[in-house]
Structure formats: structure tokens, C-alpha cells
A and B are shown apart, each in its own frame.
Chain A
Amino acid sequence: MRGIININPEIRDAILESGGDDAIKCYSCGRCMAACPWNLIDDLDYTTYRFCQRIKLGAIVDSEAKEDIAADTDEVFRCIGCDSCRHECPRGVNLSDVLRAVRRILVDYDSYPAELKGVISRLYSSGNPLGESSAKRADWAKDLGIPHFDGTQEFVYFPCCLPAYDARLKLVAEATASLLTKAGISFGIIGEEEFCCGEAVRRVGAEKVFQSAVNNNTRVFQKFNVKNVITTSPHCFKTFQTDYPAFSDIQIMHVVQVLHQCLADGKLKPERPFKKKVVYHDPCTLGRQMGIYDQPRELLQSIPELNLVEVPVFNREFSVCCGAGAMGLWRDWPQDQRLVKIRTEQIFATGADVLCVACPYCLQMFEENFKSMNVDIEVMDISEILFSSLGQ
């Protein structure tokens, strides 16, 4: 244990300079801590309300002792950017962004969780966190007859990394592309030249790698004169709108919005019954962060015989994060200290047959966890459910 807090104005200034100025707004009321899902884990005491105060004093990751530094660093890198705290904060502090400012400094000094190193290095060298070859980025679409975007189509469909490469998530990209085709939407894909949107790598503090993603995608989007984009991942959806300055005149839509519009326009007609009890999990980035709650629910309700249920209390803006954000997908927290475990129990209690998600991270996280907890609930992306209910 350390004694009295040492005040280091220099540390404070460095953090504020690297983007943590929201810290100033905080008055340590503690509502963030009450809202933080990590504190649903009994053994944890994630004192989020202290971060800003400690930053203002410059008393964060300030020890000289190896163990104390490690403990502090782990706390700084625990936040998965669900923004539950921001939603509760009376002062509108964006705490995950404040922590990102601290991370940026630490990442530059090679002081961050070891399990993230490989992911960041793969993302930088191959444009995706899996280290797959960019030449194979369009392979998922090979048999679907989807054109390469050349400016004559209205939309670019941007599946991002996991749906482009992962065998399970490719099915989501396929279902989405098939739905768009059925609805008569004119779209193409960028394929090989597409680069990870970089949202997660930005949140984790690897700003230089994020900037290389921005430069890549900006260059390619400008080359093809892209005007409208449809994303599968809420993470691309958000970061393209908020962190890509050159995208300000590009319309970015999440696939849920597009499908909802197609339904309203009568371009898609769910006819086949889906006789299952379905619970919808609000992805943090789509719900709390981008305010999209009703469209996915209305989509599901339009499907005949689908019985939509909710997780009591913890739904919509109170949805509990799956834990995959800010590269949480790649973290190695002890099994009994995982957010996905809490969420799985809540979902299991609804008695649903199917968990519906609208984010590739959530899908990956739940499917893996259901397997390891022997939970017999099918995980489906909303586009997969909708696709299965279309008539021939």
C-alpha cells in the first residue's frame, strides 16, 4: 500500500494534453461506479469515480514500485468502453475517453497488457486483428456475385474484419449481403483494400496504428468516391462518424437502419414464421452510444410468430456489456471475472431459445461463452434471423 498521494502537475498536464480534458468536469460523485458493469462482479472494486480526481492531481500510475505500477496499469486498461458511466454521469464525463488519454501515453512506452501486443502488431501489418492476408478479404463474397465498388453503386457494404474472415461471422456478412440484394439495394464491397476501422485499437490507446487505419480507409474511400456506407459492426458505424474527419460528408448507416427502412418501404417482407423465443441484446455501441434501440426491436417484431422478450431491467440503455469492446475480446481476464458471464446469466434467465445480437463482437463473445458454460441458446445476428424469415 502507498501512503499519502503525491501531486504531480506534470502527469496531469500530459494526460490532459493527450485528450483527457473531460477529467476536469468530474466532481467524484460516484454514479459512474454504480453504473459500471465491472462492479457487478463481487470480487472487484473498480473505483471508477477516483480516476478523474487522480488525474487532476497527477496521481495515477505514479508509483515507482513494480507491483503498484502493474496494478494501476491493469485498472487503466480494464475499461471496455461500454459508456454506461457516461450515460449516468451528471457532468457528461466521457470516462472511457479520459482513460484512453492515459493509455496513449502508456502504449507509447510499451506499458500495456501483453496479450494485446500481437493483436496490435497484426492489425498494423495486415489491416485486421487476425493477421489474415488482405488478399483474402473478399473471399466471403466469392460465390455471392457481389461487385467490387466502382462508384456506380449507391452503397459500400463494409463488413469489417471478423465478418470478412471468421468462418462463423462470414455467415452474418453473407446474410446481410443477401438481404440487401433481395431488397434491391445497389451496393458493392471494397474487399482487398478495406482496412480495419480501428475503433478498438483507438480505444486501447494505440493512436498511431489507428491513424494508419484512418489514412488507409480515407484514401480508398476517396479513390472510389464513396458517398454511402452500410456497416455490420456498430463499432465501424460509430468511429466512421466520430473519428474520421474526412468522412463528414459520407452517410454512414448501420445495417439495422437500412433493413428497417427496407421494411418500411415494403422492399423486404418477412413471411416465414420464426417460432422461437428471442431475446435482443443491445450492443453498447449501437444502443447507449448511438441511440438505436427501437429499430432492431421493430424488425424482430415484424417477423411472424417471433416471441420477443427482454432481459428485465438490464435492457436498452441499461444493457450489460458483453466485455468485447476496446479489445476486451482479446483480453485474458480470469474466467470468473468476465462481463460476458454476467450477461449470459441474465440472458439464460429469460428462457429464450435464441439470442439476437447486432454486433460481431457480441456474437463472437456470447457464442464462445455459451459453449464454455454449456448454455443451450443459439446466437444469431439480426440479419440472419430476418433472412431466414423471408419468403422464397
Chain B
Amino acid sequence: MDIIACIKRVPQTAEADVKIDSSGKDIVKDRLQFDMNESDTYALEEAILLKEKFSGSLTVISVGTFDAEDTLRIALAKGADNAIRIKAEDFGELDGYKTAQLLKAVIKDLKHDAIFTGCIATDDYYSQVGVTLAELLGMPHASLVTKIEIDGNTVHAYRELEGGLLEHLAMSLPALFTIQTGINEPRYASLIAIRRAAKKEIKVIGKEEINAEDIVSFSSLEKLFTPPVGERAEILSGTLDEIGTRVQGIVKEKGLL
């Protein structure tokens, strides 16, 4: 089985102080850690598990600048066989649609029975590249997948809906799955695989191979700004005892018990 996983290198902003840079369109990155996007780590693991089960090859692809090769190498060390970087620097501002077209331009020439992507990137929050890519490649998709079982020619994909409900789909391959966090337990790399990965060549594809004029975007970033502060909570201050007494007063007064 030939499998493809699309991954993205993103700044870790969940627990960091995020500041807007002087262009107003990007963030200050020099104090941020960069890692593989969270749901992509689960997508990669799902791809590796499938490869281990059915044998075949796993190719990882990332649209990114040079640094993305570090992330691709991590994927190689964890179990991918080949890695491709699409040179983001060659294609200007990227939105989800443009990213999907770049991926399509490369993937259409590769054998693929199954494609895995994360369900959302924690930087731009678009959650659209996977589903768009499936459409551009003319293959069925299932998004927000939290379980996959393969039974002969049928893939049972379980999508996460609201309220703990799952949607059970029966699909045929080739298909694309956007993977939700928690579906599996992403693995560590072994030192032997790390050594192998360190020496592997990463294929780099840029504007010489992909005609940038054919690639359009649907949207452009106008500006970043700090979210307007809504009606914020009344912050209870003082010693712990004073805070506790305030809470006591609130629950009594409102009859919450």
C-alpha cells in the first residue's frame, strides 16, 4: 500500500506570549519553539501503523521553508520512507487552497492508496487543506477521523461529530483522511532510525517543477490583531482566604448550591 502523509511545521503558540511583528501580518518568531503540527503527528502515526500492517511505502510531504526539513526528518526517523519539501519560499503568500494545489501538483504523480493529513493546523486554523486536496485529486475523503479499520476493500472510518457522537462511514480506497488528535499514541524515534533519517536525501520541489502561475489563492491576509476584549470576568483578588470568601458569598447569594 502506498501512503502519503502531509505535515506542517508550526510555531508552538498555545503556551507562549504571541506578539505581532512590524509587518502586522506575521508574529514574532524568535522566541518560539517550532514542532510538527499536533494533529499531523497523529496523522503520521496513523500512516505508519497502516504501513506496518499492510507493508508498502510512506512518503511525507510538507509545504514549508528550509526549516521544514527538520520536521520531515523527524517523520523519516519515525517511519516514513521518503520525504519531499515543497519550497514555500517560491510561491508567496499561502492560503489553504494554494497549499492544497501545491500538494496536488506533487501528489498527482505519486502512487497513493491513502493520504493522511492533520485535521487542523494550530497556526492558521484553516482546517481545509486535507479536504480541498482530496477534491483536487478527485478522491473521497473523511475529515475529523478518530478511528480507522480496514476490512478487505472497505475502510471503516469514524468521524467525530458533536456531543460524543461518531459517524461511521464505509469507504473505498484510494481516500484521504484528516486525522483528529487522540486517535493513537504517536511514537518515539529510535536512534537507529534517527541515524538513517539524518543521511536520507529530502527531495525539494520548487518553481522549476511547479508552475506558480497555475497556482492561485482564494484569500489573502490583511492584518493580524489582538482579539477585542469582551466583557471579561471580574477578577477576584486578595489573599487566598479573601478570594475564597468572595466565592462563598457568590454561591450563597446566587443560590448555586
Contact = CB atoms under 8 A, between A and B. Distances in A.
Contacts of B95: none
Given A120-B33, A124-B33, A69 B187 contact: yes
Interface in B168-208: 187-195, 197
A94 B22 CA distance: 47
A133 B16 CA distance: 9
Interface in A165-203: none
Contact of A11 (B17, B35, B188, B192): B192
A14 B187 contact: no
Given A110-B74, A111-B189, A124-B31, A105 B12 contact: no
A11 B32 contact: no
B124 interface: no
Contacts of A112: 188
A126 B190 CA distance: 31
Interface residues of A, number: 34
A106 B189 contact: yes
B221 to A, nearest CB: 22
Contacts of B78: 109, 111
A133 B19 CA distance: 13
B191 A61 contact: yes
B190 A62 contact: yes
A131 B195 contact: no
A111 B74 CA distance: 9
Given A109-B77, A110-B74, A122 B16 contact: yes
B32 A62 contact: no
B31 A109 contact: no
B246 to A, nearest CB: 17
A380 interface: no
Contacts of A152: none
Contacts, number: 88
Contacts of A118: 14-15
B73 interface: yes
A73 B15 CA distance: 25
B191 A60 contact: yes
A111 B195 CA distance: 14
A105 B74 CA distance: 11
Interface residues of B, number: 24
Contacts of B36: 110
Contacts of B12: 117, 121, 125
A70 interface: yes
Contacts of B17: 125-126, 133
A66 B33 contact: no
Interface string B16-36: 110000000000000111011
Interface in A63-87: 63-64, 66, 69-70, 72-73
Contacts of B15: 118, 121-122, 125, 131
Contacts of A121: 12, 15-16, 32-33, 35
B188 A111 contact: yes
Contacts of B190: 61-64, 69, 72
Main secondary structure of the interface of A (DSSP, over half): helix
A282 to B, nearest CB: 32
A61 B187 CA distance: 13
Contact of A69 (B14, B33, B35, B188): B188
A133 to B, nearest CB: 7
A14 to B, nearest CB: 6
A8 B191 CA distance: 10
B40 to A, nearest CB: 11
Contacts of B194: 14, 105-106, 109, 111
Contacts of B14: 118
A102 interface: yes
Interface in A31-62: 58, 60-62
B84 to A, nearest CB: 19
Interface string A97-133: 0000010011001111000011011101110000101
Among B15, B17, B31, B192, chain A packs the most CB atoms within 10 A around the CB of B192
B195 A11 contact: yes
Contacts of B74: 109-110
A131 B193 CA distance: 33
A336 interface: no
Contacts of A106: 188-189, 191, 194
B192 A109 contact: no
Nearest to B196: A10
Contacts of A69: 187-190
A121 B33 CA distance: 6
A109 B73 contact: yes
Residue of A11, A61, A109, A133 ringed by the most chain B CB atoms within 10 A = A109
A186 B36 CA distance: 48
23 contacts: A8-B195, A11-B191, A11-B192, A61-B188, A63-B190, A69-B187, A73-B188, A106-B189, A106-B194, A109-B73, A109-B78, A110-B74, A110-B189, A111-B78, A117-B12, A118-B15, A121-B33, A121-B35, A122-B16, A125-B15, A125-B16, A126-B17, A126-B31
Interface of B: 12, 14-17, 31-33, 35-36, 73-74, 77-78, 187-195, 197
Give me the 8 closest cross-chain CB pairs, A-B, nearest first: A125-B16, A111-B188, A121-B33, A121-B12, A111-B189, A61-B191, A73-B188, A109-B189
Interface of A: 8, 10-11, 14-15, 58, 60-64, 66, 69-70, 72-73, 102, 105-106, 109-112, 117-118, 120-122, 124-126, 131, 133, 209
